[in-house]
Amino acid sequence: MYLKQVFNYKHEFWRYLLVSLIIIVVSQIMQIPFVLAIVYKEGAGVLTSGDTTALLSVLEPNLNLFLMLLPFAVCLPLLFVLVKVFHSQSITSLTTGRKKIDWKRIFFSFVLWASISGILIMVDVYISPEDYQLNFKLVPFLILFVLGTLLIPLQTSLEEYIFRGYLMQGFAGLFLNRWAPLLMTSLIFGSLHAFNPEVYQLGYGIMVYYIGTGLFLGILTLMDDGMELSLGFHVANNLITALLVTADWTAFQTHSIYKDVSIPELGYDVFVPIFVVFPILLMVFSKKYNWSNWQEKLTGKIEKPLTVEKISETNSH
């Protein structure tokens, strides 16, 4: 029902294009404070260097994080308003195919991946201590913890609501199947990460990770008939990373506990999550929530209700 319920609302595709354009424009405007802060600190010349990594290291890390995440804090509630105005759709129906949002699912996914990712990071610190430097400072870390806890869920939720929610449903109404929305949103999600400093350092091979992660989150959404699991996973992924480990060449440069000082290179560890960890997680979620009929849920057609034409005619007047 999660994708099919799009027909209960105004679903002409031009609405999705217009709302997406508004979000893009507002997000760009909300980056102005970040740019002005950099110019104030270093002068306008730094903006023409083309070195994204250098730009991210200009400001104090907590201020940098706040200004980076500010656009997400503005655009998430804006998206909810625009969906209501342009589609007459509720937040609940944008989130899930269930009658109400299942917060237990969000919490379970968050705790599961926060635990696993935290353990994996600490194991790597133990195995390769030469690659890490203790970066812990109590007061800056506490500020980071507060900022991260408040703002990172807004950042990850906006990405989830746009890609696994809004566009997933929009493409479903356009293509009338499940596989096209899954692939389209995964490719767009991954492609937007092409501007991350990690890509500059590691090369375009890292795009396999970004696109694969989008695919994994899309599968979670389709199989579970809602976004709750992807919402919890994404928050855990970004928050735990921001708190535990940073590096000079990553998008999140924070007052984390550890700093990765190794030479950046594209190794097998980048692909392990996509081809090993994520499939195992899918099996765990499948067992817990009794998923079945994978082929139909991931590739099947979506039948447009017979009454949808009448609904569209009514909404157009």
pLDDT digits (tens, 9 = 90+) for 236-282: 999 999 999 998 888 888 999 999 998 888 878 888 999 999 999 99
Q: What is the pLDDT of residue 250?
A: 84
Stretch 68-86: mean pLDDT? 97
State how far Cα 154 lies from the chain centre.
Answer: 10
Q: Are the C-beta atoms of residues 68 and 152 closer than 8 Å to each other? A: no
Band (pLDDT 50/70/90 cuts) for residue 44 is low
When the pLDDT of each residue in the chain is averaged and rounded to a whole number, the result is: 91
Stretch 157-185: mean pLDDT? 96
Q: What is the pLDDT of residue 248?
A: 84
Q: What is the pLDDT of residue 56?
A: 72
Q: What is the pLDDT of residue 45?
A: 63
Q: What span, in angstroms and rounded, lies between the C-alpha atoms of 144 and 240?
A: 12
Task: Give the percent of the chain with pLDDT over 70.
Answer: 93
Band (pLDDT 50/70/90 cuts) for residue 309 is low
The 10s digit of each residue's pLDDT in 183-195 is 999 999 999 888 8
- Give the number of other CB atoms < 10 A from CB of residue 212: 18
Tokens of 85: 């105005």
Token look-up 């999705």 returns 16
Start-to-end C-alpha separation, the chain? 26
Give CA torsion, residues 18, 24, 26, 27, to 10 deg.
160
Q: Which residues pair with 258 in a beta bridge?
A: 134, 245
Band (pLDDT 50/70/90 cuts) for residue 83 is very high
Stretch 104-128: mean pLDDT? 96
State how far Cα 272 lies from the chain centre.
Answer: 19
Q: What is the pLDDT of residue 308?
A: 59
**Inter-CA distances, 178 with 83, 164, 170, 294, 301, Å:** 21, 12, 11, 11, 6
Pairing of strands 245-246, 258-260: parallel
Stretch 281-288: mean pLDDT? 97
Maximum C-alpha span of the chain: 67
Task: Give the percent of the chain with pLDDT over 90.
Answer: 76
Q: What is the pLDDT of residue 48?
A: 64
What strands lie across the sheet with 132-134, from one edge to the other?
A: 132-134, 258-260, 245-246
pLDDT score of 21 more than 60: yes
Q: What is the pLDDT of residue 12?
A: 94
Q: What is the pLDDT of residue 51?
A: 60
- Give the number of other CB atoms < 10 A from CB of residue 150: 12
- Give the number of other CB atoms < 10 A from CB of residue 78: 18
140-149 exposure pattern, b = at least 16 Cβ within 10 A, e = fewer:
bbebbeebbe
Q: What is the pLDDT of residue 305?
A: 81
Q: What span, in angstroms and rounded, lies between the C-alpha atoms of 260 and 40?
A: 29
Band (pLDDT 50/70/90 cuts) for residue 201 is confident
Band (pLDDT 50/70/90 cuts) for residue 20 is very high
Q: What is the pLDDT of residue 193?
A: 86
Band (pLDDT 50/70/90 cuts) for residue 196 is confident
Tokens of 312: 């569209």
Q: What is the pLDDT of residue 286?
A: 97
Q: What span, in angstroms and rounded, lies between the C-alpha atoms of 131 and 157?
A: 31
Q: What is the DSSP letter of 259?
A: E
Residue 34 contacts by C-beta under 8 Å, 6 or more apart in sequence? 64, 67, 68, 70
pLDDT score of 310 more than 60: no
Residue ranges covered by each domain of the chain: 4-316
Q: Are the C-beta atoms of residues 102 and 228 closer than 8 Å to each other? A: yes
Residue 219 contacts by C-beta under 8 Å, 6 or more apart in sequence? 182, 282, 298
Stretch 36-65: mean pLDDT? 76
Q: What angle do CA 141, 27, 158 make, to 5 degrees?
A: 65
Residue type, 72: F
Strand positions, DSSP E, the chain: 132-134, 245-246, 258-260
The 10s digit of each residue's pLDDT in 221-240 is 999 999 999 999 999 999 99
Token look-up 């194991």 returns 123
